[in-house]
Amino acid sequence: MVRRMTVKQVAVTGASRGIGRAISELFLKNGWRVWALARTEASIEPLKAQGDVHFVAFDAANERSVLDAAHRLTTDAGHLTALVNNAGIALSAPLHRTSTEDFQRLMHINVTAPFMLTRELSGAMVKAGHGRIVNIASTAAQKGFKYTAAYCASKHALLGLTRSLALELAIRGVTVNAVSPGWTDTDMFTASVQRISESTGRSQDDARETLAKMNPLHRPIKPEEVAEVVYFLCASPGAAAITGADYVIDGGETV
């Protein structure tokens, strides 16, 4: 028998900015309780004014922090309706300048932390007979990009994890899906614009236009557009039979 909850609850990692913040805001707008996983409580203060928000200290690079966050959620939240593994980092560097430490850090943040959280939190979903898990991957999970070997490897791994867990948990009533954005208008996009400008001497406007033209829409994806797809996968009855899928939101870049 599926146990119903009076309050729908979602845990979002990297909730303080960018895609994670947009996701959190959309869930709050729809009356959900949001467990906002971030490094500092101050960083989620803007979210607290928008609804039922609970801060959970979380550093995806630190195994102890990830386990402590999972314990807090298990103890205080109980059965989550949904988990969104959004926190991630990128690195752009040629292979010979990518250290083993760089590679391991990206893998830990982008793959190991989502693996650990899903392992620790999916048990309550299985027990309740219902749960939705969404992993934020990337177009770097769809194809290779020059100078991003570590990042591409981590996002390919995250997509593989998503598909495997989808098969494992389907019979238990838990869906696992991925959302793969292209260049999205976040701090990461701004930092890339800055790097291109500094390395080429071009203006930031020119650098931004170069990145924007990587997809047929000639604009970066909006965080809110990613959030809408995540919300659909987590909340819509129409997504109940969707599992192991990867929703690519890239303006046609990888077509």
- Give the neighbor-by-neighbor strand order of the sheet with 174-181: 53-57, 33-38, 9-13, 82-85, 131-136, 174-181, 246-249
Amino acid of residue 188: M
- Residue-wise DSSP of the chain: -PPP-SS-EEEEETTTSHHHHHHHHHHHHTT-EEEEEES-SGGGHHHHTTS-EEEEE--TT-HHHHHHHHHHIIIII-S-SEEEE---------GGG--HHHHHHHHIIIIIHHHHHHHHHHHHHHHHT-EEEEEE--GGGTS--TT-HHHHHHHHHHHHHHHHHHHHHGGGTEEEEEEEE-SBSSHHHHHHHHHHHHHH---HHHHHHHHHTTSTT-SPBPHHHHHHHHHHHHH-GGGTT--S-EEEESTTTT-
Give every CB contact of residue 82 below 8 A, 6+ residues apart in sequence.
Answer: 8, 9, 10, 11, 131, 132, 133, 134, 234, 235
Q: Which residues does the annotation mark as catalytic? A: 151
